[in-house]
Amino acid sequence: MPRPPARWIRAEIPAAPALEASARSRRSVQLLARRGVTTPEAAEEFLAPALSGLHPAAGLLGLGAAVERIDAVRNRGGKLAIVGDYDVDGITATALLAASLRALGIEVETILPRRDAEGYGFQ
């Protein structure tokens, strides 16, 4: 049985008159508005965020224990393994963390699963 043609359902673009009045392109105004950014000030904050806008790292669950573990490995000369993910942000995060730990003098092994052979998630 033939399949009906695909039908795109486009999300409505919110109005952002203040942002539209700025010197931004129509496409960038649309992209920002879809993300809830509707003023020139909010656009500047979104496109050039400040470190002060980050949430405090102390709020990350288990951070203290992780820091203690990394410090212990560094002090006794051990090795850490980083198990990453095979998608773009997973590979990037794995590379950044490995580079940071190596800069601290820690020996690091990185593990990126092969989805075709290992599937998805912890095995």
Name the more confident of 114 and 77. Answer: 77
Which amino acid, residue 42? A
23-43 residue pLDDT tens: 778 888 888 989 988 899 998
Give the H/E segment covering residue 117: helix 115-118
| Dist. CA 43–CA 63, nearest whole Å | 31
Note the pLDDT of residue 65.
94
50-102 residue pLDDT tens: 888 888 888 899 999 999 999 999 999 999 999 998 889 999 999 999 999 99
| Dist. CA 110–CA 113, nearest whole Å | 10
What phi and psi, each to the nearest 5 degrees, are found at residue 74? -65, -40
Note the pLDDT of residue 21.
82
Note the pLDDT of residue 121.
63
HSE of 32 in the Cβ direction (CA atoms, 13 Å)? 24
- Average pLDDT rounded to a whole number, residues 7-11: 84
Query: Which residues make beta-bridge pairs with 82?
Result: 110
User: Model's pTM, two decimal places?
Assistant: 0.58
Find all residues with CB under 8 Å of 29, minimum gap 6, and list them: 16, 19, 20, 22
| Dist. CA 123–CA 118, nearest whole Å | 7
Is the model's pLDDT at 123 over the cut of 70?
A: no
Which amino acid, residue 29? V
